[in-house]
Structure 1
Amino acid sequence: MASESNVDDNLHVDEYIEKESSDDELLYMDDVDANFGKLMVLNYFVANKGSINGKTPCRTSFLTRKMYTLEILNGHPDVCYRNFCMQKHVFMNLCDILKEKGLLKDEKKVSVEEGVAIFMMIVGHTTRYNVIGDRFQHSNNTIHKWFKRVVRVVISIGTEIIRPTNQDIVHERILRKYPFFKDYIDAIDGTYVAVWAPALRQSSFRGRKTNVTLNLMLTCDFDMKFTFVYCGWEGTANDSRVFVDAVIRSSNNFSMP
């Protein structure tokens, strides 16, 4: 009987040892799995260190900053007109005027010529900041800053640029067309310019093209120079109504022979 009890005790001890060892093995396997997972994550970060921690350059064109502007200005005249919507000499005269008046000056990263080129490409081609930034290799913040800066200075000298010409002399182009255009001085037309308006007033600014716009009346001579610009009317306003208002109001100083 004593031997049988010893055998039972040994069996219980063996079972306890096996159970304890199996639990240890399970715990060890759990630790291995956890460490393996951590090791895999670590290997992933090490393998992709350049793409995670480093920044991939976005604007890598060889024509960095003002090199593109210089290439356009030193190239064919038609290329300058297509890109900047100005003849080369007109573009350079505008830049010189802005410099002489102290309205703009060269900075470390952007020159006056480059700033005016950015402004002309946005206005002339309705191009987005992202596209202009890729073209001139500048951030959107720099493009936005210079666009607003050039807009302000151009508006400030608007009264010097837009002014009536001598109307006492008949233009030579009219003389060639006598008598069909006898006594013609200027050409008048209207255009729509996209604007922002409060939500409560947008209905009056939506013209026939459903966009929120202003109806502008423009007058130019036969040298294609603007002599009068009248803006402020909503996009729904009729062209004749804008014209009558521009002529009747004495404060507009509408030039009439």
Structure 2
Amino acid sequence: MSTESSWVQNSTDEDLSDDDFLFTEDDLDASIGDRLMLSYFVANKRVFIDRTPCRTSLLTGKMYMLEILNGHPDVCHRNFWMQKHVFMNFCDTLKHKGLLTDGKKVSVEEGVAMFLMIVGHTTRYSIIGDRFQHSNNTIHKWFKRVLRAVCSLGTEIISPTNQNGPHECLLRKYPFFKNCIGAIDGMHVAAWVPASRQTSFRGRKTNVTQNVMLACNFDMKFIFVHVGWEGTANDSRVFIDAVTRPSNNFPMPRGDQFYLVDSGYPNMPEFLAPYRG
């Protein structure tokens, strides 16, 4: 009997380590097969990989941005849903606050432009990639960057403001709206949710939406936004959750102050009564 066979007979399962089972005859055959397949793939890579450049437009993303920002004002508004001065001020604010910085190949202006076109026109990454001559990975990376920056900036922009006396736009309605500080309304915004939860997010128009409650002052500035509720949720239920949960920081009216409320909120005066002071 050979030395190898005698060793196998005298060995027990406890004596064998995991390393002894790393290479078996089956694994050796599989390894040889993988090597042959890899060799065949490398030898015929031109058949499997199309190396024809995909994005070959002479109008790069940087040139496209220069064309829009130096062109007619309406072109910027149609593409980004912002006037040129608003767009540039928005980008400068993100830079000044340190929320975004220029990348090696993509500037802040270009990244914000891609974000606004995706959000404003529900455009796919592939279409934006063809327009700005960037890969889908680059577009996805910048979309997430700008989204985080906008969310961080939103906590500073969407905040209550101190108002002394009636707003000038209410003077003609005085004294009927003497202590009115804003208006509350709800709207349905398109949502992207897993298939297992889409039923509760389908509203009466069968679209997948979320019910969003918003409050704004008379300067047309949002002072409170409450998101995340399913499209089938009742407006009153969304409102009660917004004003009763302390973590939401709802801007409560003080004294005789009150909000104008949309008629879609049934029995809302009774709900608002405890918050009038």
Q: TM-score higher than 0.5 here? A: yes
Structure 2 match to 1:73: 69
Structure 2 match to 1:144: 140
RMSD over equivalenced CA pairs, Å: 2.7
User: Partners of 1:158 and 1:105 in 2: how far apart?
Assistant: 18
Does 2:124 correspond to 1:102? no
1:224 counterpart SS class = coil
Instruction: Compare 78-87 and 192-201 and name the one that shifted more.
Output: 192-201
Q: 1:187 to 1:141 in 2, by over 3 A?
A: same
Using the TM superposition, give the Cα deviation of residue 176 of structure 1 relative to its aligned residue in structure 2, in angstroms: 4.5
Using the TM superposition, give the Cα deviation of residue 72 of structure 1 relative to its aligned residue in structure 2, in angstroms: 1.8
Structure 2 match to 1:175: 171
Using the TM superposition, give the Cα deviation of residue 121 of structure 1 relative to its aligned residue in structure 2, in angstroms: 1.1
Q: Which amino acid aligns with 2:240?
A: V
Does 2:95 correspond to 1:115? no
CA contact 1:218–1:229 (8 Å) conserved in 2: yes
CA contact 1:59–1:134 (8 Å) conserved in 2: yes
Does 2:201 correspond to 1:205? yes
1:66 counterpart SS class = helix
Q: 1:86 to 1:171 in 2, by over 3 A?
A: farther
Does 2:128 correspond to 1:128? no
Q: 1:140 to 1:169 in 2, by over 3 A?
A: farther
Q: Which amino acid aligns with 1:247?
A: V
Structure 2 match to 1:10: none
Q: Which amino acid aligns with 1:139?
A: S
Name which of 37, 59, 62 aligns with 1:63.
Answer: 59
Structure 1 match to 2:237: 241
User: Partners of 2:162 and 2:204 in 1: how far apart?
Assistant: 37
CA contact 1:65–1:109 (8 Å) conserved in 2: no
User: Partners of 2:67 and 2:178 in 1: how far apart?
Assistant: 45
User: Partners of 1:182 and 1:59 in 2: how far apart?
Assistant: 60
2:58 counterpart SS class = coil
**C-alpha deviations, 1:150-191, integer Å up to 9, x for none?**
111211222112112223243333335556755443232222
2:247 counterpart SS class = helix
Using the TM superposition, give the Cα deviation of residue 116 of structure 1 relative to its aligned residue in structure 2, in angstroms: 0.6
User: Partners of 1:161 and 1:75 in 2: how far apart?
Assistant: 29
User: Partners of 2:94 and 2:174 in 1: how far apart?
Assistant: 40
Does 2:218 correspond to 1:222? yes
Instruction: Compare 100-109 and 198-207 and name the one that shifted more.
Output: 198-207
Q: How many residues align?
A: 208
User: Partners of 2:220 and 2:116 in 1: how far apart?
Assistant: 18
Q: Which amino acid aligns with 1:224?
A: M
Using the TM superposition, give the Cα deviation of residue 70 of structure 1 relative to its aligned residue in structure 2, in angstroms: 2.0
Identity, % of aligned positions: 75
Name which of 151, 154, 162 aligns with 1:166.
Answer: 162
1:164 counterpart SS class = coil
1:157 counterpart SS class = helix
User: Partners of 1:180 and 1:60 in 2: how far apart?
Assistant: 63
Using the TM superposition, give the Cα deviation of residue 216 of structure 1 relative to its aligned residue in structure 2, in angstroms: 0.8
**C-alpha deviations, 1:25-82, integer Å up to 9, x for none?**
xxxxxxxxxxxxxxxxxxxxxxxxx999874443343321112122222223332222
Q: 1:158 to 1:239 in 2, by over 3 A?
A: same
1:186 counterpart SS class = strand
User: Partners of 2:125 and 2:169 in 1: how far apart?
Assistant: 40
Structure 1 match to 2:34: none
Name which of 150, 153, 156 aligns with 2:152.
Answer: 156
Q: Which amino acid aligns with 1:238?
A: N
1:138 counterpart SS class = coil
Structure 2 match to 1:91: 87
In structure 1, list runs of 5 or more residues that go unmatched: 1-49
Q: 1:110 to 1:247 in 2, by over 3 A?
A: same
User: Partners of 2:72 and 2:195 in 1: how far apart?
Assistant: 46
